[in-house]
Structure 1
Amino acid sequence: MKKPVSNPIAHAVLAATAVLALCASPWSAASAAAQGGQPAPAASPASTGPIRIGVLTDLSGSLADLSGRGSVEAVKMAVEDFGASVLGRPVEVVAADHQNKADIGSQIANDWYDNKNVELIIDLPNSAVMLAIQELGRRKNKIVIGTAGGSSDFTGKACSPNGIHWVYDTYALAAGTGRTMVKQGGDSWYFITLDYSFGLSLERDTAAFVTGAGGKVLGSARHPLNSADFSSYLLQAQASKAKVIGLANAGGDLINTVKQAAEFGITRQGQKLAGLLMFLSDIHALGLETAQGLVLTESFYWDQNEATRTFSKRFFERTGRMPTMVQAGNYGAITHYLKAVKAAGTSDTATVMKTMRETPINDFMTRDGRIREDGRVLRDMYLFEVKTPAESKSPWDYYKQLGVIAAADAARPLAESDCPLVRNKAAAAKP
């Protein structure tokens, strides 16, 4: 695995190289000549030139499989399917690797906003990066759609009038997996947690469901991003005697944790592993022999119905892999955005955001979804169990659905929100 460079100057060079290389390659743009449509009003070059969408992602690190180049392809698919133009303006896609560093991500986003007229940034695996870009989008008056980062703070204390949390958040995962495990008797927990805003949010939200249901949290161990050795954390979890070991990490870190837990025989000794954020790509990397029996919560699975299968097969033809919920969500989010630009007759941020909120979300992934005032997309989530090797009938046949978490239960109630937009609205409504 490629390790991030520690030298700040090297960071900046790599960031610039990533942007330039991607802009010059087939990965960078999906554009075409304008195809009819309503002409944009005469204004500055920024409002009459190309509409640019930035995919800020992890192309080389532990989160690349769940987002990465697959996310770039999904955005390109959405742009191409829309006709590659809107309001008579070509739509272009630029992409770059934030290297899981908030400073690198901010440098790239600043350049995109200031010099490349990027209207929207999407994807953003790694919640620290996602939250940094949220703040930048607020200052620059640009739209930010988090599809890959999970921290519920994105629509909580860090919410923005220009921010949308599209696919999932840590509250939804906790409500699904955490609540279910307690109901099944897993009433004592120990967490192995990524020491970033995402992992800390996921542990916090899950712990609240565990204790709220009468369970106990016996402790937690926190690790840095891109860790290789989880033995000490697993030994602490094992020594706690907790019935459930909650894995509040993701990507390569999660895969390594599960593999090493299997080597230690932890599940054979009676403790259960709860993957609080697992993706199809993680199960593919682990293999069913290791991952079988894991319970997880997602907002999308490629084999749910004919519509999901149709999209996923198209995606597979381009990438050689079935899409994760993040990659599917990127397609849906960009399609919704382009529809809103067309309906609004402008790419103005406030006008487009208003249109996106007023328009129900209906696609192969989402039924009657909507964007709440805090930026949270209200959508159903699904509880899955990983199949055994004997149950799997074909490649990528990994999940069986256990249940549905309704949208109202999957989102933090507004009454409990610490989003300033919600609090200010409530205060204004009081006599």
Structure 2
Amino acid sequence: MDVPGRTPPGSRADVDAGRWPDVARIPPAGPARTAVARYLVGRALRRLDLIAPPAGARPATVGPRLVLHDPDAFHRRVGRHGLIGFGESYMAGEWDSDDLAGVLTVLAGHVDELVPAPLRRLRGLWVSARPAGDRNTRDGARTNIQRHYDLSNDLFAAFLDPTLTYSSAIFRALPARFDSLASAQHRKIDRLLDLAGAGEGTRLLEIGTGWGELALRAAARGARVTTLTLSEEQAALARERIAAAGLADRVDVQLRDYRDIEGRYDAVVSVEMIEAVGADYWPAYFTALRRALAPGGRIALQAITMGHRQMLHTAATHTFISKYVFPGGLIPSREAIAAHSAAAGLRTAADDGFGEHYAETLRLWRERFTAHRPVVTGLGFDPVFQRMWEFYLAYSEAGFRSRYLDVRQLLLTEGTPR
């Protein structure tokens, strides 16, 4: 259902242009691009039955629906910037849905069919390369981490569970009716610590501290933990939580790049860190893991993955997520992990996937974020940010629900693959 809206020529008066320049600015009307976008998007939405019927009309089927409030701006953005424009149009309030994750799941499940094959060769017309400045050099990695994880500890507390764990949980059963998110996060952490063989006296290295929950649970088992992060906000709160638990003598939180690891460890654990490393630095990441491992040691990783062909396309493309959420990051394929870990002298001894559990985790995060909008507003995050964050959570959930994405726990040990 199209509900045309009036906007000032070339911009949105209701968006802070200083904070959100590309959301405030509506791309100029390029007749050819806009017409192609109108045709392709309309064709896809009609075929997937995602367009809401006119007011008062009964839908032919029951399912998620997309409602256009400003179709001209919507098609201009998609025609000019593809999927980034699609997300920015949502941030600008130019379209909505009563089931955002549902709409995005349908689109993710048919992503390879949305553009007719002959037009896929023209993909370069509406996608752009990743900015060179987002590369994860030592300085770049620190800046990229700060742009996400240093937004505000209170922001993350508004939608995470009390453990402040920002990675996939593992539930007893799905959907998660009889399991709290906190207990499901502890189940995930305990599986990783078991995989790594962490116990009394274990020298354990964690790459990517988060807010300290894994380090706390490892220390409670009797391990001596060194945990690394580049986020000053996370480090400060993690130290507070560790001290409050009386475990400061067992956990050393360091502001340190993974490339600067010192010492050898019986166990190394890294949870959803590889996605932030960037493809250029995966060799350095796995080399650092191998270098940190004492003889007979074990490495437990949790990693989001995507198909190898999709990874290669994403690596060459500036995406909504790389622009607004995780600059410099890239989700690896299982093939990429296997190749880079083997090149560093590691072999995969175990590999278990549980993507449907990440979809459930993200659903719960999104529900909590929506329920705590007044808190988020009070922290100074404007409506455009809130729509961006909601889109990011729903977009990620859709990736796992459609099986475009997966999440896996892997055990790596010394030696080459058999």
TM over 0.5: no
TM-score (norm 1): 0.33
- Determine which structure has more spread, i.e. the larger CA radius of gyration: 2
